């Protein structure tokens, strides 16, 4: 596995997230209590950019239909709602992260 530079640790305050591109992959990078996590940025329900969602306690809620994902694991933890239909989306792909000095590296 090849680890590639994604960001500096100082560029992401705790309990925040941002969009990064690493190795041609569009990812969401989050800092949760000083630990960094990376998942696919695109919601598996309807393709919304999860970086536009709301982050609370490590769970991001998609701004489009409310699907919720645990950023520590990529696991879908809340259903998306579209009109009267509710569906649990597929889990997000998660990526390994390691810190070297002040660099956040993501395994691609």
Delimit the domains of the chain by residue range: 3-107
CATH superfamily of 3-107: Rieske [2Fe-2S] iron-sulphur domain (2.102.10.10)
CA separation, residue 95 to residues 44, 66, 75, 83 (Å) = 16, 23, 12, 32
Residue of 98, 78, 79, 77 whose CA lies nearest to 3: 98
Q: How many residues does the chain have?
A: 108
- State pLDDT tens for residues 18-45: 999 999 999 999 999 999 999 999 999 8
pTM: 0.91
Q: In the structure encoding, which two tokens stand for residue 50, read together? A: 């999860």
**End-to-end distance of the chain based on CA atoms, in angstroms?**
6
- State pLDDT tens for residues 66-89: 899 999 999 999 888 777 778 888
Q: What is the pLDDT of residue 71?
A: 97
């Amino acid at each position: 596995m090849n680890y590639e530079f994604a960001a500096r640790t100082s560029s992401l305050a705790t309990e925040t997230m941002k969009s990064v591109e690493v190795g041609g992959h569009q990812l969401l990078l989050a800092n949760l209590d000083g630990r960094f996590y990376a998942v696919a940025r695109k919601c598996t329900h309807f393709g919304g950019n999860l970086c536009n969602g709301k982050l609370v306690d490590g769970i991001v809620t998609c701004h489009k239909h409310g699907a919720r994902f645990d950023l520590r694991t990529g696991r879908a933890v809340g259903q998306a709602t579209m009109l009267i239909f509710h569906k649990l989306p597929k889990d997000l792909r998660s990526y390994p992260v390691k810190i070297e000095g002040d660099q956040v590296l993501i395994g691609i």
